[in-house]
Amino acid sequence: MGTLLLKGKPVSDSIRLALEPRVQSLKKIGIVPKLAAIIVGDDPASQVYVRNKARAFEKLSCESQTYRLDSKSNEENVLTLIDRLNNDPSAHGILVQLPLPNHLDSKTILHTVSPNKDVDGFHPENLGLLLEGNPNFIPCTPHGVLEILRHYDISVSGRHAVIVGRSNIVGKPMFALLAQKFEMGNATVTICHTGTKDLAAYTKQGDIIIAAAGSPNMITGDMIKEGADIIDVGINRVDDDSEKGYTLVGDVNTESVMGIANSVTPVPGGVGPMTITMLLVNTVKSAEKCVELVTGW
C-alpha cells in the first residue's frame, strides 16, 4: 500500500489565502486584527515560537505585539498585564506562551484571559462550550488536525479514532471535536494515556490514530491496522551527532508505518504549520466578532 504523506503546508497556505480578504474587509473599517503575546522568562523554544507567530501575523498584514516579562515576575505582574490587555480594545487575541516558569500557576493565569480574547481556546469557558458542541474559540492544534483531515478528504464520521494523550491542549479537545456530531466529527473515539494497559491493543483498532504523547517514535508499524490514517502531533527533540545536535521527530516511527498506513503526517511539516495558522484564524474571528462580521470558521 502506498502511504500518502499529509503535508501541512498546502492546508495552511489555503487557509491563510482564505483569510486575506477577511483581513482586508476589516482594514476597510479601520480594524487590524492584533495578537498580544505574553512571554515570561527566556525559554529558548518559547522565544522561537513567539517569533514565528509574530512573523505569521505580519505576513497576513495583522499585528502582533510581544510582552516580555522577566523570569522572576510574580503572579500579580502577569495578571495585571492580562487585565490591561483584556480591557484594551486594540488587542483581539491574548496568548500566554507556555510553559510558564514553575513558580507561576498556569491555571490561574490562563483563567484570567478574557474568554472573548482567548484565541488559544484554553479558557474553561471555551473548553466547556466546545464540549457542549457550541464552540467559540477552538484550541489551535486540534483544530489544525481537523483541517488536515478535511483538506485530504479523510473521512471521520463513523470511523474509530484512537487518541494517544489526554492533555488539555491537544488530547482532550481533540476528543471533544472528533466525538461531536460535526461535519468533521461523529467518530467513535478512544482516548489512551499513561494509565492505558497494552496501548497497541487499542491503536491496532484505530481507523484514525492521533498521536499526542510527546514520546519519540512510540507508535510503530506493528501497532497499527492496515489502511489507518495517522496524525502525528508529537514534536520531540532527540539528541544526535548532527550539526544542530538534535533531530525533531514525532511520536510515530514514520518509516515503520510506511506501506501499512493509508496516510501519515510528517514531522516536521505536518501538524506543526497548522497551529499558527489556526491562531491566525481565531484572532481574525475575534476581530470580526467585535463588529459582528464573522464570515468563517
Length in residues, the chain: 297
Give the separation between CA 210 and CA 231, rounded to whole angstroms.
Answer: 5
User: If we measure between CA atoms, which residue out of 189, 217, 215, 214 comes closest to residue 202?
Assistant: 189
Contact, 288 vs 256, CB < 8 A?
Answer: no
Nearest to ligand NAD of 116, 263 (CB atom): 263
Examine residue 108 and tell whether it contacts ligand NAD (CB under 6 A).
Answer: no
* Cα 269-261-2 angle, rounded to 5 deg: 85
Examine residue 189 and tell whether it contacts ligand NAD (CB under 6 A).
Answer: no
Examine residue 113 and tell whether it contacts ligand NAD (CB under 6 A).
Answer: no
Q: How far is the CB of 147 from ligand NAD (least distance, A)?
A: 13
Task: At 39, list the grid cell.
Answer: 512571554
Pattern 203-242, ligand NAD, x by CB under 6 A: ---------xxxx--x--------------xxxx------
In sequence order, the β-bridge partners of residue 192 are 164
Examine residue 64 and tell whether it contacts ligand NAD (CB under 6 A).
Answer: no
In sequence order, the β-bridge partners of residue 133 are none
Examine residue 194 and tell whether it contacts ligand NAD (CB under 6 A).
Answer: yes
Contact, 94 vs 119, CB < 8 A?
Answer: yes
User: If we measure between CA atoms, which residue out of 59, 81, 56, 58 comes closest to residue 68?
Assistant: 81
Q: How far is the CB of 76 from ligand NAD (least distance, A)?
A: 27
Examine residue 277 and tell whether it contacts ligand NAD (CB under 6 A).
Answer: no
Nearest to ligand NAD of 41, 165 (CB atom): 165
| Catalytic residue set | 53, 97, 120
Interface residue list for ligand NAD (CB under 6 A): 141, 164-167, 169-171, 192-194, 196, 199, 212-215, 218, 233-236, 271-272, 275
